Amino acid sequence: MAPPLTRRTLLRSAMLAAAVPALPAAAGAEARAATLPPPAAWTLLPFGLGDVALGPGVFGAKRQLMLDHARGYDVNRLLQVFRANAGLSTLGAVAPGGWEGLDGEANGNLRGHYTGHFLTMLSQACASTGEQVFADRIGTAVGALTQVREALRHEPVVLTTEGRSGTAVEHVRGSYRYVDLPSGVLGAATEVTLAAWVKPTHDAAWTRILDFGNDTTRYLYLASRNARGVPRFAVTTGGAGAEQGLEGTAALPLNQWSHLAVTLGGGTGTLYVNGTAVARNTAMTLTPAALGTLTGHWLGRSHYASDPVFAGAFGGFDAWSRALTAAEVTALQSGRATGDLVSYAFDETSGSTFADASGRGLTATLRRTWGGPSHPGFLAAYPETQFIQLESMTGSDYTKVWAPYYTAHKILRGLLDAHLATDDDRALDLASGMGDWMYSRLSKLPDATLQRMWGLFSSGEFGGIVEAICDLHALSGKAEHLALAKLFDLDKLIDACAADTDTLDGLHANQHIPIFTGLVRLYDATGETRYFTAAKNFWRMVVPHRMYGIGGTSTGEFWKARDVIAGTIGASTAETCCAYNMLKLSRTLFFHEQDPAYMDYYERTLFNQVLGSRQDAPDAEKPLVTYFIGLEPGHVRDYTPKQGTTCCEGTGMESATKYQDSVYFRAADGGALYVNLYSPSVLTWAEKGVTVTQSTDFPREQGTTLTVRGRTAAFALRLRVPSWATAGFQVTVNGRRAGGTPVPGSYFTVSRTWRDGDVVRVTMPFRLRVEKAADDPALQTLFLGPVNLVARDLATTYLKCGLYRDAALSGDLLPSLTAVSGKPLHFTLDGTEFAPFFEGTEDPTHAYVRRAEPRIVFGNTDSGVANPAKADGTTLLDEVWAAAPFAGKPALVARVRTVVDAWVAAGLLGAADGAKAVSTASAATYQP
């Protein structure tokens, strides 16, 4: 029976309500100013994040860590890569690095994605708390991205920096800008001097100060660094193998001005650095005249397409039609001299051109290596070239093209969330422009090309872009946006899943999970049932067939064969992004069909993998979220994966600022309130004029109290009865037990007219249970209620655990463990501590243990008889306890006798040993 309502219960409810800060009226109105209309097909509707305030507890503590990170991180660092790509000032900000910069894995081919994640996190934080700091940061980002798009629409404009005296022109790394000189700069000169003031800001090899040539056969160049890191000049009419060259002796210093000069004449070439000759070659027979007519005369760009663009500043460039003397070159350090072939001071402060002071009128032009976007709606942190190259790719190579539409999705999603959180029309305009741009590209491609693109691992990954585009369409109403969403159909996958044919083995998990959330939203928009059927069937191919106990899926980012769990466990299991996307899919499916299995999965994954993926430590610079969660024995979670700014750190930021998004749902007709998760919170249901305060320390508390305040309102309260709640689930209303029989894995309904002050108390005792790996039943993971318990031990082999020794008549295995005083949900077994998976520590953990029950033991009494096993691994004790719960000790003893008799008759157990087993069971003492 449920415990009676007490003064302590009421006080706790009042304290929780007081602990949750009220959303300021202005901020709340702003947060709800822009709304996304719910699809007509949804029978359930979510509440806004601002409608559900989290109270103190495990979720509140984790969220606070992420909110502090969101407040403290400099958004200008995220915007650096966008501003650089557009040729705008980066305000001195340093890019985050990792996947969000020009170095590291794949040289920044995914940059921009993390900014989208961060915008979503800020938007969720703003909607949840109403704090102005988050709205201000969103405004900064949206304003900057608006400027970036405008800059990308036009020819690049001079970006000035401080020169040796006066101003100089700056090429920010990642801007892909160079100076294009008119043809005929060198003419048919048989002698030449080339001189430039440069301040390099990056040490990439083969960056060109100048490169005059046709292709990779006839050219002359001056590189700030070659493969050895020193300046090099070369001239050739026969490609790299026929170069005549000069090499310096030391690297040019970064972030300092250096003067380089090359003289070529009379068969001798000399390279000067800061007025000093550092290399001389007396066998240089090639001159500009020998190169003939050249088509490309570039400062800062190479004719070798794979070479990086010069990053740094130009303070001047001059060319003479003779070889200056050493004294003349030295004199260039202290005064300005004007070349007779061409002369640029680079002191312009606006525009896209540079004046020539030589008298020849050879005006130079600032250009991008990739030209410019194909559509004015283009917005990215890198050139459009990745999108273009993808259209002709036949095999994946993420070092060249790394999921450009995935990155576009994150940016689009962040902009939509920013608009919904702050009603900033600039964000919606940017998002709509992105939709227009994508449609302009993809609508022109043949279907066969699209199918090939989307089938490419990694390069063709597009994340949850279909869901985002459907949301964009709901806001914009543009037919082109809905048509765009359908252009991402991967028919082979959709048709297989719609036919319930499992083809997931070998597929990249996170590339495909968000596709199905998008398909559900396409079903909402189009009514095409194959989309919805495919998504439902897909979900059941993953849950439980490719699901680990914590709810995660994938190994090394990929799926293996159905029901292979033990055989896939390693250091790279359970990619965190997969959990995020499976939760999103489960939630979206539940809006259509209220199958409690979706919310059982949601609770499992949220309370275990998602909570456990965030370290319990503050950090202003990193979100401290795992990429993989290794389930191998003794695994230590890595909360700073790879080089930072990974996909999983991005989704981890999002997860931690929307923990409350699925605690409550309401029926579309307003007739019911679903309580899906048990978490301290306050729901404001404005349409009903009521608040519902949930007071609990769940999962440290095995129950919850819900208090209704406000107007009198009639609705059905539907309380989820978790599938694990086999030890009872009791509900009282104002101290009186509610009628009906709660069934695990369903919803229990209390229908009434609710009045101010009504209190509902729910109790749900936890039991310790095990879940077995489908392909190795002896490999098991432990659960207490919804909480996965992991062993903390340095061993790197599976721990062996026996759990039947003191099992209760109910079948609860918990009595075999010893509770740790003062540490809720912590236990010991044979000296090993077991703790909740959700605790974000760096302890070595064992999520799975090897079940070992060597002897028949009842009530901690050892019979001395070996526990026999069948060929499939099922032991005698397994068969006995499979019949739990037992009404009393006689029922258990009767079960033991029945099983023993069957095993003796089958020749699996001797008669004498069988008698010992029965007598031990009869003599033992058991907990209920």
The CATH class, in words, for 177-368 is: mainly beta
pLDDT above 50 for 281: yes
Mean pLDDT value of segment 612-631: 97
Supply the pLDDT for residue 334. 85
What is the arrangement of strands in the sheet containing 703-710, beginning at the earlier edge strand? 52-54, 681-685, 690-695, 703-710, 759-763, 730-733, 736-737
pLDDT above 50 for 425: yes
pLDDT above 60 for 245: yes
Nearest CA to 411 out of 99, 141, 34 is that of: 141
CA angle (200 as vertex; 199, 205 as ends), nearest 5 = 150
Give the confidence band of 13 by pLDDT, cuts at 50, 70, 90. Answer: very low
Q: pLDDT tens for residues 201-235?
A: 999 999 999 999 999 999 999 999 999 999 999 99
Give the confidence band of 798 by pLDDT, cuts at 50, 70, 90. Answer: very high
Of all residues in the chain, the percent with pLDDT exceeding 70 is 96
CA dihedral 136, 140, 143, 144 (to 10 degrees): -170
117 and 623 in contact (C-beta within 8 Å)? Answer: no
Could you tell me the residue ranges of all domains in the chain? 177-368, 766-852, 860-928
Mean pLDDT value of segment 381-393: 97
pTM beyond cutoff 0.85: yes
Supply the pLDDT for residue 337. 87
Tokens of 653: 């930021």
pLDDT above 50 for 1: no
Residue 785 to residue 881: CA distance in whole angstroms: 18
pLDDT above 60 for 796: yes
Structural element, H or E, at residue 148: helix 132-153
Q: Which residues share a beta bridge with 719? A: 675, 748
Mean pLDDT value of segment 750-775: 98
Supply the pLDDT for residue 107. 86
Q: What are phi and psi of 474, to 5 degrees?
A: -60, -30
Residue 403 to residue 453: CA distance in whole angstroms: 10
Q: pLDDT tens for residues 87-142?
A: 999 999 999 999 998 888 888 899 999 999 999 999 999 999 999 999 999 999 99
DSSP secondary structure code for residue 47 in this structure: P
* Residue carrying structure tokens 């070996």: 866
Q: pLDDT tens for residues 826-872?
A: 999 999 999 999 999 999 999 999 999 999 999 999 999 999 999 98
> How would you class 247 by CB atoms within 10 Å of its CB: exposed for 0-12, middle for 13-18, buried for 19 or more?
middle
Supply the pLDDT for residue 626. 98
221 and 236 in contact (C-beta within 8 Å)? Answer: no
Q: Residue 66: helix, strand or coil by DSSP?
A: helix
Supply the pLDDT for residue 872. 87
Supply the pLDDT for residue 28. 37
DSSP of 337-374: ---SSEEE-----SSSEE---SSS---EEEEETT---S
Supply the pLDDT for residue 385. 96
Q: pLDDT tens for residues 255-279?
A: 999 999 999 999 999 999 999 999 9
Q: What average pLDDT does the chain have?
A: 95
Supply the pLDDT for residue 812. 96
Supply the pLDDT for residue 104. 83
